[in-house]
Structure 1
Amino acid sequence: MRVHIESSGRLHLGLIDLHGGLGRKFGGIGVALKEPSLVLEAAPTDELRSEGLEQERTKAFAQRFFQRYAPEHWRLSGRGAYLRVFKAIPSHVGFGSGTQLALAVGVALTRLYDLDITAADLAETMKRGRRSGIGIGVFQYGGFIVDGGNIENSHCEATVPPVIFRYPFPADWLFVVATPQVEAGLSGEAELTAFHELSPPSPEAVGHICRILVMKMLPSLIERKIKPFGEAVTEIDQLVV
């Protein structure tokens, strides 16, 4: 038996609420891309092997999966998997490669051993979605995604953000993506630390972002009006920065 998984990269179009005064923080806006994309295959074996592209990260995600779920599921006892990435999303350039690879590995192993594990549970196991649920939403549903942020305070750990809006993105709307030849951006714990060190915006600025999202971006998407949609993307980007 072999399991074949495909997923796509994403563009993150902005964060909604870095203030957090209502008890939730972040909240994301994003869209699935046709390319770049990920193609992964998995087969059952008695040991864990990774070949092809992204071998180290693929194996690390698989090890995390077995460490988390093997004690609870007898089907995983003494088992491994052969994993091969045929096509990979470029890492650390804004396409969400880590989340897509982590979920692809998790879903492949879940299907391989006929387990009932949700994408949200996999995301928590793989430590994804701590700031944005866009990558998880894109993996599950594709299209245009808005997530509701996560509950993050001193009394509980960050939760996987819920998808609060999903809509098919027009196939004839294109993005021109340029990747500058510069040092890779922050990721992992360094990225998380940088977010926590940011000065929070005012509630008024967050309210302005929400107004643009609800009263301009979303209606423009549904009515297929590309000009005001693009204006909304730019306006939110300028406010977030």
Structure 2
Amino acid sequence: MAESISKEWGVRIRTGCRVSYTLIDLNGESGRRNGMASMALRSPGLEAVVLPSDVNKVEADENGSAHVAAVTGLLERLQEAWQGPPARVVIRKGLPPHTGFGSGTTTAVAIGRAYAQFADRSVAVADIARAAGRAGTSGASPNLIERGGFLVDGGHLNPDDFGEDPKRYLVPTRYAGGGKRPPVLISAPFPSWPVLVIIPNGNQMHGEVERQFFARTLPIPAEEARRTAHAVLMNLATAVLESDYTAFCRAVNFLTYESYFKRKQIDMQSAQVKFLLEEARRGPEIDAIAMSSEGPMCYAFTRRPQDAVRRLTELRGEGVVREFWFSGARNVPASVDWIPALEDQTLVD
């Protein structure tokens, strides 16, 4: 869009959140590390706009406010690198932070993508992720912004000195920096199964707490990494591709209740999260349940929605669950659109 016209226009981006089934290889003896099985959900979703401004500024709703500083820094770096125009960024609908929705990476990369269009730059999402210092562990959020659906990425090639100090490289994404984006191994639409999103009263695992957890837990035993990789590639992914609900639920429950690293993640969570997961395993209401990343958010699958809602309502009354709702997979990429830069942005649908 020509500069004279673009002063009257902004850019809006809408995308889903990222939920994680599991990181795949947290041992690294194979020569690669990390990798993730993940998917995009419609709700909660992210919506942000990039508008003309005389100076850079970032505004956000309550959820998005956790990422204002990071987005401001990224905006300034991109503007300098691209010699782009200043912009006003408004995060209209932010993702709940530190809950398991991939909010930090998704927010930064999505807004960087919107600013690239605003600045009339054709830039790969992988380059934006590097500028944001993200995707150093998993490429889930950047890849899902481009694709949506269900995704398995192949992690990172180990550096030559990995064996000397694996803990140096087996770290959370915010400490891993922006590396080469992991390759996509499997990318497919997720079946039309409803997804029951559950927010229990749990611990928000981020920052130094998360870094210390990785440091004392990793590397995991090589045999456990192989079990997880086999479950992801031969059970979880195949069930998605074949729309086999029974096999899918069996694979999800294996990753939740039997895989080594996920059990360690659950051990760090609150009594309420552990109780929820045990209730899901014992009761007939839930067919399968997963905890995304370190949680506390869980997501579940059920053929008995009325019974599931009834039980979750009881658990909410008991202080185990804070909120829950039905969502579904977002099987399309992020939408990036030009919008008129109106003073009253509520007029823009």
TM-score (norm. length: structure 1): 0.88
| More deviation, 194-203/102-111 | 194-203
Q: Deviations over 1:126-174 (max 9, x none)?
A: 1111222111221111000101111344479743322221000012x12
| More deviation, 195-204/139-148 | 195-204
Aligned partner of 1:144 in structure 2 is 150
Write out aligned runs for 1:64-103 (5 A).
64-68=74-78, 70=80, 72-74=81-83, 76=84, 79-103=85-109
Cα separation, 2, equivalents of 1:160 and 1:192: 21
Cα separation, 1, equivalents of 2:146 and 2:20: 16
How many angstroms does 1:30 deviate by?
0.7
Cα separation, 2, equivalents of 1:161 and 1:21: 17
**Structure 1 runs of 4+ with >6 Å offset:** none
1:164 aligned to 2:196? Answer: no
**SS of 1:177 mapped into structure 2:** strand
**SS of 2:253 mapped into structure 1:** helix
Cα separation, 2, equivalents of 1:212 and 1:19: 16
Aligned length: 235
Cα separation, 2, equivalents of 1:20 and 1:142: 27
Write out aligned runs for 1:102-181 (5 A).
102-153=108-159, 154=161, 158-171=179-192, 173-181=193-201
Write out aligned runs for 1:19-98 (5 A).
19-53=27-61, 54-55=64-65, 57-58=67-68, 60-68=70-78, 70=80, 72-74=81-83, 76=84, 79-98=85-104
Cα separation, 1, equivalents of 2:17 and 2:214: 22
Cα separation, 2, equivalents of 1:29 and 1:162: 12
Cα separation, 1, equivalents of 2:10 and 2:204: 34
How many angstroms does 1:21 deviate by?
0.7
Structure 1: runs of 5 or more not aligned: none
- CA 1:162/1:69 → structure 2, altered by over 3 Å: closer, same or farther? farther
**SS of 1:201 mapped into structure 2:** coil
Q: Which has the larger radius of gyration?
A: 2
1:229 aligned to 2:248? Answer: yes
How many angstroms does 1:193 deviate by?
4.3
| More deviation, 38-47/158-167 | 158-167
**SS of 2:195 mapped into structure 1:** coil
Q: Deviations over 1:64-107 (max 9, x none)?
A: 2332551x433x2xx31011111111111101111111012101
Equivalent position amino acid for 2:88 in 1 = Y
How many angstroms does 1:110 deviate by?
0.5
Write out aligned runs for 1:196-211 (5 A).
196-211=215-230
Contact 1:30 1:144 in 2 (8 A): yes
**SS of 1:179 mapped into structure 2:** strand
Contact 1:62 1:105 in 2 (8 A): no
Cα separation, 1, equivalents of 2:220 and 2:50: 44
Contact 2:58 2:72 in 1 (8 A): no
- CA 1:186/1:73 → structure 2, altered by over 3 Å: closer, same or farther? closer
Contact 1:65 1:126 in 2 (8 A): no
Structure 2: runs of 5 or more not aligned: 1-8, 163-168, 170-176, 264-349
Q: CA RMSD in A?
A: 2.1
How many angstroms does 1:62 deviate by?
3.5
Equivalent position amino acid for 2:59 in 1 = E
- CA 1:192/1:131 → structure 2, altered by over 3 Å: closer, same or farther? farther
TM-score (norm. length: structure 2): 0.62
- For residue 9 of structure 1, the aligned residue among 9, 17, 34 is 17
Cα separation, 2, equivalents of 1:104 and 1:56: 15
Contact 1:100 1:135 in 2 (8 A): yes
Aligned partner of 2:26 in structure 1 is 18
**SS of 1:5 mapped into structure 2:** strand
Equivalent position amino acid for 2:139 in 1 = G
How many angstroms does 1:195 deviate by?
1.8
| More deviation, 197-206/148-157 | 148-157
